[in-house]
Structure 1
Amino acid sequence: MTTKLTRSLIYWALLSPLMVVILFPFGVMFVTAVRPREELFVYPPTWGFSEFRWENFSEMWVKTNFGGALLNSLYVSVAATVVALVLSIPAAYAMSRYRFAGKGAYRTFLLMTQMMSPIVLVLGLFRLMMSLGLVNDLNSLVLTYAAFNMAFTIWMLQSYFNSIPRDLEEAAWMDGASHLTSLVRIFLPLAVPAMVVTAIFTFINSWNEFVLALTMMRSSEDFTLPVQIYAQVAGRYQVEWHHVMAATVLATVPVAIMFSWLQRYLIRGMALGAVK
C-alpha cells in the first residue's frame, strides 16, 4: 500500500509541471472573465481582484449575441458529426470486411487528404458554395466540416472494425439474418466506443473551426462562436476583454460537458481500437 501511494505521489509530482502549463491559460481566461473592468490592466499584474463580477457573463450574452452564435455552432457541429458518421460507417465497414480493386489507393488517398490544410482550399470552396447558393448558409459549413473530417473518421472506424471478430457476423448469417440486419443489430452495437470517439473529435473540430466559418458567413446572425468572439476583437477601437474572456469560458463548456459525459467511451474506444 505504501509503495503504491509513493508511486502515485511520484507520478503526480512529475505531471505537475505539465498540468500547470495546460491549466494556466484557462486560469487567466477565467480570472479575466470575472474581474471588474477597471482592474483588467493593473500593473504589476495580479491574480487577486476586489470582487467576482458574474454580471460580466450576462452583459456579454446581451451585447454580443452569444445565444444565437451558440445555437449556430451547436447546429453546425452536431449536423456535421452526424453526416460524417453516416457516410463514414459504410466506407469503413467495406474497407474492413471486403477486398476490392483500388483499396490500397483509396487508403493512400485518405491519408493524403489528412495532410492538406483547409486554408489551401478556402477560395475553391467559396466559389463552389457560391455556385450552389450556399454562401451565408450554415449548411455550407455542415457539408465542408463533414467532408474534411471523413478521412479521419473512416481511418478510425476501420481500425476498430478490424478488431471485431468475423465469427459474430457469420453466426448471424447462419441464423438467417441479412447482411444489413447483422450490421445494424450486431456489428454496430459492438462499435459504439469507436463511433463515440470519432463523434467527439469531429464535433470538436467543427466547434473550433474558424477560417471556413469566417469565409462563408457574411451575416452576424449566422456567425458561429469562434467568429462571433473574433468579431468582438477585430476592428474595434476598444476591446472589452472581460466580455471576450467570458464568451470564451462559456464556449468551452459544451466541449467539457461532452468529454465528461462520454469519457468512458473515449478511453475504451481509443484503447480497443489500437488492438487487433
Structure 2
Amino acid sequence: MADARRSLIYWIILSPLVVINLFPFAVMISTSLTPGDEVLSGDPRWIPSHFAWVNFKDMWQTVGFGEALTNSLVVGVLTTVLTILVSVPAAYAMVRLTFKGKSTFQTFLLVTQMFSPVVLVIGLFRLVVGIGALDSLIALSVLYCCFHIAFAVWMLRSYFASIPVELEHAAWLEGASAFHAIRTVFVPMAAPAVAVTALFTFIGAWNEYALALAILRSSEHYTLPLKIAALSSGRYQIEWHHVMAATFVATIPVAILFMWLQRHMITGLSGGAVKG
C-alpha cells in the first residue's frame, strides 16, 4: 500500500512534465488529421470534424516525402555504422592501451566538441566542392561521422572503463587470443553502451539541417529536415496539415529504433554478464 501511494505521488509530481513533453505531439497529431480548410479556418479544434487520413497520402505523393525518407535513412544508417566502426576501437584503445600522446589525443577529442557544424559550414562547403563531392549523400554521411566520432569515443570510453579487465585476462588464461577475448567477452559487455551511442548518432544525423542545406543542392537528394522545411518556406500559404503529417511520419523511424535498441540494450547487458 505504501509503494502504491508513493508511486501515485511521483506520478502527480511528474504529470506537469509529462504534459509539457506530450503537448507538441498532441498538436502535431491533431493537426495532421485535420482537414486543410479547418486548419486555416481560425477556429482550431483538438478533435476535427472528421479524421482526414488523406493528408498523409497527399503529403507523400505531392512533396516527394518517400524519397526524402529514403535519403535520411541512408545518411543515418551510414553515419551510424561509420561512427561505431571508428569509435569502438578508438575508445577501447584509450581505455586498455598505453601509448605516447594519449592525453593529447583525449584533449584533442574534447576540444573538437566545442566546434559546431554551423561555425565550420563555409569551410566544409569549400572542402566538399574542392573534392567534387557536392550534393552527395555519402559525403554528407562522412562529415556527420567526423562530427560524431569525438562524442561517441568519450561516451564509450566512460563505459568501457567500468568493464573489468580481469574478464579478458581470464579468457587469455583459458587459451583465447586477444581478438577472441574481445569478441566473446568485451563486446557483449559493451553492447549497451554501443547501442546508446548508435542511437544518439542516428538521431543526430537524422535531425541535422544546416550542414545538409549547404551540401545537398538538388531536391531529389534532400533529407527529411530539408524537405519538411521546404513545406513551410517560400510558399504563399503554408499547408500546416501536410507539414504536421510529414513531421509525424519523420518521428516514426526514430521511435522504432529507440524501442528496438532499448530491448537489445537490456539483452546485451545480461548476455555480457553471463558470458563474462
**What is the aligned partner in structure 2 of residue 41 from structure 1?**
40
Aligned equivalents of 1:36, 1:121: Cα separation in 2: 42
Paired residue type of 1:144: L
Aligned equivalents of 2:198, 2:71: Cα separation in 1: 18
Instruction: Describe how 1:46-57 pairs up with structure 2 within 5 A.
Output: 46-57=45-56
SS in structure 2 of the partner of residue 117 of structure 1:
coil
**Contact between 1:194 and 1:269, CA under 8 Å: does it hold in 2?**
no
Paired residue type of 1:99: T
SS in structure 2 of the partner of residue 200 of structure 1:
helix
**What is the aligned partner in structure 1 of residue 217 from structure 2?**
218
Aligned equivalents of 2:216, 2:237: Cα separation in 1: 24
Structure 2, unpaired ranges of 5+: 270-276
Per the normalisation by structure 2, the TM-score is: 0.93
Per the normalisation by structure 1, the TM-score is: 0.93
Aligned equivalents of 2:233, 2:266: Cα separation in 1: 39
What RMSD over aligned residues (CA atoms) do the two structures have, in Å?
Answer: 1.6
Aligned equivalents of 2:192, 2:263: Cα separation in 1: 9
Aligned-residue offset at 1:233 = 1.5
Segment of structure 1 superposing worse, 42-51 or 17-26: 42-51
Aligned-residue offset at 1:141 = 1.1
SS in structure 2 of the partner of residue 120 of structure 1:
coil
Instruction: Describe how 1:201-216 pairs up with structure 2 within 5 A.
Output: 201-216=200-215
**What is the aligned partner in structure 1 of residue 91 from structure 2?**
92
**Contact between 2:209 and 2:225, CA under 8 Å: does it hold in 1?**
yes
Paired residue type of 2:33: V
**What is the aligned partner in structure 1 of residue 127 from structure 2?**
128
Aligned-residue offset at 1:44 = 4.6
Structure 1 residues 127, 267: closer, same or farther in 2, change over 3 A?
Answer: farther
Instruction: Describe how 1:73-112 pairs up with structure 2 within 5 A.
Output: 73-112=72-111
Instruction: Describe how 1:1-276 pairs up with structure 2 within 5 A.
Output: 2-265=1-264
**Contact between 2:191 and 2:265, CA under 8 Å: does it hold in 1?**
no
Query: How many pairs align?
Result: 269
Paired residue type of 1:151: A
Aligned-residue offset at 1:90 = 1.0
Aligned equivalents of 1:68, 1:186: Cα separation in 2: 41
Aligned equivalents of 1:96, 1:249: Cα separation in 2: 41
Residues 80-130 of structure 1: CA deviation (Å, up to 9, x unaligned): 000000011111011000122222222122112112111011011111111
Structure 1, unpaired ranges of 5+: 271-276
Aligned equivalents of 2:127, 2:153: Cα separation in 1: 24
Residues 35-86 of structure 1: CA deviation (Å, up to 9, x unaligned): 0111113435331321000000001000010111001000100010000000
Percent identity of equivalent pairs: 54
Aligned equivalents of 2:179, 2:244: Cα separation in 1: 49
**Contact between 2:228 and 2:243, CA under 8 Å: does it hold in 1?**
yes
